[in-house]
Chains A and B, each alone.
Chain A
């Protein structure tokens, strides 16, 4: 009698726990699909952005590694070849005519060819690339500090964001773009890189020029950069969330 009761009780408990967890899981999926709940979840991004900026000194540097730390293989993610006729023509000419424009809310819009960029003072840094998927790779990047370009073009006071327009387009015709807060353009490690591990960038890693924004995740590191546009608001660009991946639900603030 006692054993029977105990068994019944155990079955009941197992059943209850099983049903409870199924309901909870289904509940989570329902909330995910609801119109309002993802908006609530997304409030955390604003909080994280505010708190992390408040506790991180503006010019605190990301850890720089040594040559021996460099990854043997630096994986290339996302688009690994823009694949357009225009881009192929640039590949033919070794990107000699590639131009990076800086436009929008600036005193003096300017543009630099790749050779002109390479003549500006450069910075080399061995840093860790953290992909949103969870892996990390270490590479040695050389390029022009973005802050130097900003000093040339003189952003207007109402410029809040720098938007990076890229030459790569995905299978559905969506152009890659990214954006960062204007103050992050002046971080010493924010560079337009043209070299990886001592060699000109290869196509899969964003040739000829890509962004390195060392304090945020990999999807912010726009490749194949052709235009930097300073704007007051991100609305009206792409789907308005500030980047190719952001438009697909990833956070604009990618510091974590």
Chain B
């Protein structure tokens, strides 16, 4: 595997000064200038506090289940509409199976009137007519009632976890300190985009905090996407619609809310793909360790590392 991790001097040397997490109101760097004023090649910093780590990993579980049980529910009526009703001749998107004259079954995904052959994944997979394939749904068999049981149970956990995290992040000033982009961040956004495109990632001091794209992505997910997916989900509830009729106006109708819910779901999938690929590209083991133990290693420029 990766012997580097174990031969890394900074890791094998005895635990540095900061063997315990810093107090809650203190940020997280361990200043380790040597006596000679020389910079060490790398430094251990305490990056993620316990509530953030717990919330993160619980969310991994909730999201995985919510997305897959959501696809199970979608499979019961694999079409999306705008407005309040489902006019079946005018779906925005549909995933169906068709049988050609020679008896061949094909999976056809139609987006805004444009059909695409998606046999094998969408519409028809593994000899079965179903919008999303068995490997993408919970439970894997076609079973709407059970999909709803999973979805509506874990939706509660997702909301409760989210509320705890939001409360913690406000009170601990995690949002103000670590997540809100500064003016300087925003000015550097062009450079950040360019750096990310060529996979050049921040090192040293710059790596001790979130970069501007990270901040925007995390803020967008935490305070944009997550509330959006919860509210559009609730708008699909006929009882909630009677209690809060403005939800219907806000999203343009129950079927629009369902469509936005679906788009928000795939925005989560997109975020997860980018997030995980960044985690891998910027040092998988270091990143995983920091989200498990809180501690990560920051490396400085000019020092070569076998990595």
Contacts and interface: CB of A to CB of B under 8 A. Distances in A.
A134 B238 contact: no
Interface stretch (B110-118, B239-247, B295-303): B239-247
- Of B81, B143, B156, B242, most A-chain CB atoms within 10 Å: B242
A56 interface: yes
B243 A55 contact: yes
Given A73-B88, A135-B86, A216-B238, A249 B145 contact: yes
B84 to A, nearest CB: 6
Nearest to B76: A133
B77 A135 contact: yes
Interface stretch (B33-41, B133-141, B203-211): B133-141
A215 B239 contact: yes
A41 B143 CA distance: 15
A41 B149 contact: yes
A220 B155 CA distance: 23
B30 interface: no
Contacts of A255: 237-240
B124 interface: no
B2 A5 contact: yes
A60 to B, nearest CB: 4
Given A28-B138, A38-B149, A73-B88, A132 B241 contact: no
29 contacts: A9-B1, A25-B135, A29-B138, A29-B139, A32-B143, A38-B146, A38-B149, A41-B150, A41-B153, A62-B241, A62-B242, A71-B87, A72-B87, A75-B88, A128-B254, A130-B254, A133-B77, A134-B76, A134-B77, A134-B236, A135-B79, A136-B84, A136-B254, A136-B255, A214-B242, A217-B238, A249-B146, A251-B149, A251-B152
For the complex of A and B, 10 pairs with smallest distance between CB atoms: A255-B239, A249-B145, A256-B237, A135-B86, A56-B243, A44-B153, A134-B77, A133-B77, A133-B76, A41-B149
Interface of A: 2, 5, 8-9, 12-13, 24-25, 28-29, 32, 38, 40-45, 47-48, 52, 55-57, 60-63, 65, 69, 71-73, 75, 128, 130-138, 214-217, 245, 248-251, 255-256
